[in-house]
Structure 1
Amino acid sequence: MNDSPGWASPGPAPSDGRPPENSGGTGPADGAPESMPSEPSGSKWSKEQPPAGQWSAPGSAAPRSHAQTPPRQGWNGAPRGGGWGAPGPGGWGGPPPAAKPGVIPLRPLGLGDILDGSVSTARAHWRTVLGVTVVVAVLVQIAVMLLQRFVLPTPPATTADPGADVNEALRQSVEAAQAELFSTVPTLLITAIGTLFTTALLTVVVSRSVLGRPVSLGDAWREAKPRLLPLLGLTLLLTVGSMAILAVAALPGLLLGSVGGALLSALGVLAASVLVIWLWVRFSLASPALMLERQSIGRSLRRSAKLVQGSWWRVFGIQLLTAVLTAVVSMLIVMVFTFLALLADGGGLENLMKGASAEFGWAFLIISGVGAVIAACITYPISAGVSVLLYIDQRIRREALDLDLARAAGLSGYDTEHSADQTPGS
């Protein structure tokens, strides 16, 4: 795999697990004190012996002995760390920590490693990350503001008629939902395009930071530019496919047009949502595969399915936790700025309190847009970082990608005969 500027490999290479040499004591065997006089062959030790010598801290006045301290026992009799040659933390026999040329160690990653790697990337390359997110988020919010102000109709008031029967109330609810959907879909489409650009550029940044290499905004753009159209096609395929599944599930109930039909549609959408979530997790690593391995759309989907196979619940849990965290952070920021925007736009707040149609002015749109930009600058790098690091983690677990990344990072002790310019994607 070729170590092109768009890729950075994860942290350190795994150790071989061999204990350090010459770790044993130089004193007499079997824990005997050095002062014990030699005895003739065949003699036995006395039953009462002085206690074994202990190691003292460097520089302390306490005398030291080379006798080995017996390992501590756990509750079940198993040896615990802390003694000479004891396995695990605290012992001298445990493997050394994995190498870390960049933001993650080169070993299978835990949830903490993935989240910390995402945050560390944003901190290490904050100029590039802020440049990407601010530029894209500002352009998206400008487009959304102009769309809401001049193109999209004002949503109608949602006050229900208490005298209407069930069918009439259902009809009014459906019409209100259609109007809301009509005004929301263009906004979501613009936001999705902005997210696509951000994800593409931040994927390059994260891949570089894994190898501990610098990356500028220009570097990220040059690496991501050739992959934007395939990434757009992948995003549209997954989005349209999910919407088609939900629409087919809701169609039979909508054709009935009654309360029973509404319930049937709800049940169909609920069942289809389970399938959509399963597919979303199964293909959640297709975007990093497409960007870093330079695969086609079809091969990226197959690569994602192969990497997720057997780890569906783990990938789902990490992606879900990331989505919840970013959603909560984004919601809190947007709520604060929306409240400030309502205070600045008195007419919109008054109409909102009355339940009437709220037509907001420029003050509301600008202030709420600033909140959306700030939320995007915080949440976009985390979401993109988790997706890329999950992809790297699955390849480390399945394909020993950590060895290739160690070679690409130029770590000593690895075979560099095959290509110093190799990237995990090839």
Structure 2
Amino acid sequence: MSETPGWSSPDQPSNQPQQPGQQPPGGPQPQYGYNAPPPPGAQPTIKPGVIPLRPLAVGEIVDGAITTMRRYPKLIIGAAAIVAAVTQILGLLAQLPFLDDLTAVVTLDPNSVTQEQAIDQFTSAITGFLTGTLLSVFLLLLGTVFLSGFITVIVGHAVLGKPVTFAQAWEEFKPRLLPLLGATLLSGLVITVGLVLCIVPGVWLWVLFALVTPALVLERCGVTAAFGRSKKLVDGAWWRTFGILLLTVVITVVIEWIIGLPFGLLGAATTGFSPDPAAALSIGSLILSTIGAIIASTITLPFSSAVTVLLYVDRRMRSEGMDIELQRAAGHGGS
């Protein structure tokens, strides 16, 4: 980021000169344990933004993500709501043309058609359903890539307690949009192959490359370098990274379930709680489920993106001592 010189990797030249042996006020900052509080007599924690500038506990990462959403509601919640609404509505519209074929297959009476006719209807319905689903997934991917990169920029400012506008965040993120899309597609492909071959390699790769987005956006490095940076930062802390990511997934799933439940019940009520499988494919039911998905995504997408960025910051503070550079960038270091 152009205004935050502390984000460059150790292999990149820093935008701000550093005097040999220079330390933040009070000397080197202590490296606290996994969840341990600062020991008695330790230097006061510097917290210019949403997190203290020292290695973070798990709760501090989650709290920092929530605090960022609360401090920048118009930017984060507003952008998430727009992206969720556009992707979900367009996804629904992409599936509507194939809805009749799918409903016909669900309600098909095998005694009223020949086997060949049944196979033709089934093939047509599945082809249409897959086409609509792929379009929906692609739209969701585009929206998620934009939102994750955009929120990464905002969290980068939030860590330092600096204000940021939509125009400023977009200007900083815009050059990284296409590289981030390429990196997301590549990581998705690699992880999918790992999951297909065996679940364990897929999960291992998912964790190993979890920090590609913040590395690519904040360090302004290339796609290949971002993968290397993520691997380097996760090495030696795979299980801790996995635990935080898994906790994030559990939280988002619970939020989605809580929000989606009333809309699912309303959708069932519009059909009189009919046991007919075709009832779930009614227009009213689909619209209600789409509204629920929009509301849930508005909360969960920015939360998970913010957690990922703060996890990246934590890993850099633990493995590269970046807390000192961030303190300087926030105006707490020496000249």
Question: In which range does the TM-score fall when normalised by the shorter chain?
Answer: 0.7 to 0.9
Could you say which residue in structure 2 is the equivalent of 1:185?
Answer: 134
Could you say which residue in structure 2 is the equivalent of 1:392?
Answer: 313
Offset at residue 278 of structure 1 (A): 0.4
Could you say which residue in structure 2 is the equivalent of 1:210?
Answer: 159
Offset at residue 376 of structure 1 (A): 1.2
Could you say which residue in structure 2 is the equivalent of 1:122?
Answer: 69
Q: Is the 8 A contact 1:202 1:385 kept in 2?
A: yes
Q: Is the 8 A contact 2:215 2:221 kept in 1?
A: yes
Equivalents in 1 of 2:315, 2:266: separation in Å? 43
Higher-helix-fraction structure: 2
Q: Is the 8 A contact 2:7 2:219 kept in 1?
A: no
Equivalents in 2 of 1:138, 1:367: separation in Å? 13
**Deviations 1:157-184, CA, capped at 9 Å, x for gaps:** 29999xxxxxxxxx9xx98996665553
Total equivalences in the alignment: 299
Of structures 1 and 2, the larger Rg is shown by: 1
Equivalents in 1 of 2:291, 2:280: separation in Å? 20
Q: Which amino acid aligns with 1:299?
A: A
Q: Which consecutive residues of structure 1, in runs of 5 or more, have no partner in the other structure?
A: 19-86, 162-170, 250-271, 417-426
Q: Is the 8 A contact 1:322 1:383 kept in 2?
A: yes
Q: Which consecutive residues of structure 2, in runs of 5 or more, have no partner in the other structure?
A: 9-23, 30-37, 111-118
Could you say which residue in structure 2 is the equivalent of 1:144?
Answer: 91
Q: Which amino acid aligns with 1:393?
A: D
**Deviations 1:273-322, CA, capped at 9 Å, x for gaps:** 11011011011111100000011110000000000000000000000110
Could you say which residue in structure 1 is the equivalent of 2:3?
Answer: 3
Offset at residue 244 of structure 1 (A): 3.4
Offset at residue 356 of structure 1 (A): 4.2
The 5 A counterparts of 1:54-133 are 88-89=39-40, 94-133=41-80
**TM-score, normalised with respect to structure 2:** 0.80
Could you say which residue in structure 2 is the equivalent of 1:62?
Answer: none
Question: Which of 333, 337, 350 pairs up with 2:259?
Answer: 333
Identity %: 42
CA RMSD in angstroms, aligned pairs only: 3.1
**Deviations 1:61-97, CA, capped at 9 Å, x for gaps:** xxxxxxxxxxxxxxxxxxxxxxxxxx944xxxx1133
Q: Which amino acid aligns with 2:277?
A: G
Equivalents in 1 of 2:90, 2:6: separation in Å? 29
The structure, 1 or 2, with the larger RCO (C-alpha pairs under 8 Å, 6+ apart) is: 2
Q: Is the 8 A contact 1:157 1:357 kept in 2?
A: no
CA separation of 1:185/1:410 partners in 2, compared to 1, >3 Å: closer, same or farther? same
Equivalents in 1 of 2:163, 2:322: separation in Å? 21
CA separation of 1:97/1:384 partners in 2, compared to 1, >3 Å: closer, same or farther? same
Offset at residue 338 of structure 1 (A): 2.0
Does 1:379 pair with 2:300? Answer: yes
Q: Which amino acid aligns with 1:118?
A: A
Q: Which amino acid aligns with 1:99?
A: I
Offset at residue 231 of structure 1 (A): 0.5
Could you say which residue in structure 1 is the equivalent of 2:334?
Answer: 415
**Deviations 1:405-425, CA, capped at 9 Å, x for gaps:** 1111111xx233xxxxxxxxx
Equivalents in 2 of 1:109, 1:186: separation in Å? 39
